[in-house]
Structure 1
Amino acid sequence: MLAAPLFRRVITRGSLTVISPDGSRMVFGDGSGNPGAATIRIHDTATERRLLLNPHMALGEAYMEGTLTCEDGTTLPGFLDLVGENIGRGYGHGLAFLLHQLRMLKRRIMQYNPAHRARRNVAHHYDLSGALYDLFLDADRQYSCAYYLAPDDTIEAAQHQKKDHIAAKLLLQPGQRVLDIGSGWGGLGLHVAGLEDVHVQGVTLSEEQHKLSNARAEAAGLASRVRFDLIDYRHLQGRFDRIVSVGMFEHVGVNHYREYFDRIAELLTDDGVALVHSIGRSDGPGVTNPWIAKYIFPGGYIPALSEVLPYIERSGLWVTDVEILRLHYAETLKAWYDRFMARREEAARIYDERFCRMWEFYLAGSEMSFRHGGMMVFQVQLARRQDAVPLTRDYITDTERAIGARTEPVKARTVA
């Protein structure tokens, strides 16, 4: 088996059975069953060769193309969980490690993200059919990390709690101007406007999101206070009392961090408050997985806080709060994967089988990156003045509970 050296290096615990193109089986690991057991089949020698030379790209491509399949009752999450438990946060050895180092050297070129390129990258993912997102997202189309208060929370409840949690950190007051950078399908902006008599401007680069979010504002009777514009945040004018950005910073690119935080500082009023919610790395700077960069989020990059904080400091903004959400996104992605698989036949009718396998690998692989690969979510609260928020964090919990009490009936109807 050509790929035997790869599996021998990677799988040292648990048990992985690999069925080779000639039908023979090899078992890798210590056979303990801890952390698990899985069986896969590799259908041709070309796939074996690609796995050996560039596993970080070849594994996802082989699953997409059907040249690597899960066998004997093994699920894709089960297989990737076993791999993730063995690899942890590492990048492997030999050629795979060398390729990682080369990607580190050229990552600034890969993340060059001027406005025209940013719009093209956004369209690649977010202008897919809305019917696809309806298969696995909650009714509000929240496409970012949910916030679980209990292990058995539904995805609808957890996403509602996420919006309440963010709103609590914004310290909303009547009459404020709120800017939502990367406003998605409008759910957070509409939620904020429903909680307080504020004026919300959302900005997105996705034409599909732009059309739907404004239609939602009109349908909710909030069009006089909420609008969504198809514009790059770098081209905004005016000042805002509150700025929020959820799930957008991952698309900014390392080269543009200074520009991003300088713009927040310029757009924020003197007593304003901003909140940036982003996926992050817990183990320092890295590179985007090449499969994710090619097929899912071109131009995207998950930053480490050590890369982000220096640019905040240079912008003159105060960091008034930092919170790390660890396994919340793993649970979010698990819920999305389960919902997608339950309606997979509908997804295949919208696109095709190859697309479905790609989406399966994206959701399941992303879940395992949060369980085993050092990924997390950070929420950084920012202000121009150090006294813009109360001295202790008690206000966050107190406000969140007050908001939750007000929105519980709405939440209950949404979940039902």
Structure 2
Amino acid sequence: MTTPNHLSVRQALQAMEAGELTSVALARACLERIAERNAEVLAFTAVDPAWTLEQARRSDAEPHGPLRGIPFAVKDVIETQHLVTAYGSPIYSGHQPKTDAACVARVKEFGGLVLGKVATSEFATQTPSQTRNPLNLAHTPGGSSSGSAAAVADFMAPVAFGTQTTASTVRPASYCGIVGYKPTFGFINVAGLKPLSPAQDTITILTRSVADAAWCGFGLQGDRVSAEPVAAPRLAVCYSSQWDAVRPEMAQAIEDLAAAAERAGAKVTRVRLPDALESIIDLQGRLFAFEARQSLAHERQHHADQFSDRLKARLSGGENIDSDEYLSMRQTALIARQNMGALFDGIDALLYPPAQGEADEGIADSGSAQFGALWSLMHVPCVSVPMTKGPKGLPMGVQVIGPYGNDLRTLQVAAFVEGLRQR
């Protein structure tokens, strides 16, 4: 058998159901990989091996639910009762929450277990963690779900919780060559997530396959969902002003993917982002600044000396936004969401860059978040799927974007796109 930590979620579940694998063996393999690699990758911030193995033993004794025996890594802005949650900030060093976040409690409710906490940028904003890209330690893994993406890509965990308020899942997934699933806003309950921009904060799933992302995302609802690839999806490459920042190799890779999709039976068209949506791309950042300034009001008033300069600057962008502008922004975003259905007329999903290209060298910056901003604001499901490699040999993904609430169909289309790499 493949080393347990290299199994996909679905493979591990099938092996456990067949009596060929135990949760203890899977958890132990993940812990051994963490012990072997974390000093270099710096993905995990808190691990308690004895506690994790005790959870696994209980799972083996009483297996149940769609997530039976599967170890989840948890981004460190999501609260865990047993493990320290520092939100990526020295302000909360050693902080021990009283309860688990709702998504963590649901993992346990449906048979899964907690493997450990993984690194995040400061309060899931722009100041990066120390995590390295496991595919090349000299490069960024992306942010803010840096530890989540690195842990899954390096076979430390089969699945990890991330979050996305702008592009904090689709970009690191692309940089690390894995799948990042940002559900429809609110599909995964955010209770116990440190708020940043409540109008956009979304808990996400990072895995090594689209099937695993679907199984885990819907498994948190108690459902058993298999995202079989759509036979002949209707796709559209969506162009916008943001493509001016896309590197030539990323643009060409998406065109090549579109051609491969047509050869595989998909109907592929080209669309231009409507002016009504183009005009609100920048609104996302201002909405974020206003809400983040409120969400971090206590920290800003009492611990601002422990903020990074980058966070101070970003929060200052919300100072000159009054309540009238804020409510106007919320109204504008709502109207855009209500009218967005027209963009998907005759289309199952859009193809869009998740990042400018492959991961940049260095970890001082985690890359541009602009390519997720609009879609996070619009609350639609997005799946970053590995596509090809860039000139430096690092992965590049494509963002598959579906209509609001059509998560399963979007994942099925993403599974089709994923399969193009194997043709």
Query: Normalising TM by the smaller chain, what interval?
Result: under 0.3
Larger Rg: 1
Q: From the two aligned structures, give the one with the greater helix fraction.
A: 1
TM-score by length of 2: 0.27
TM-score by length of 1: 0.27
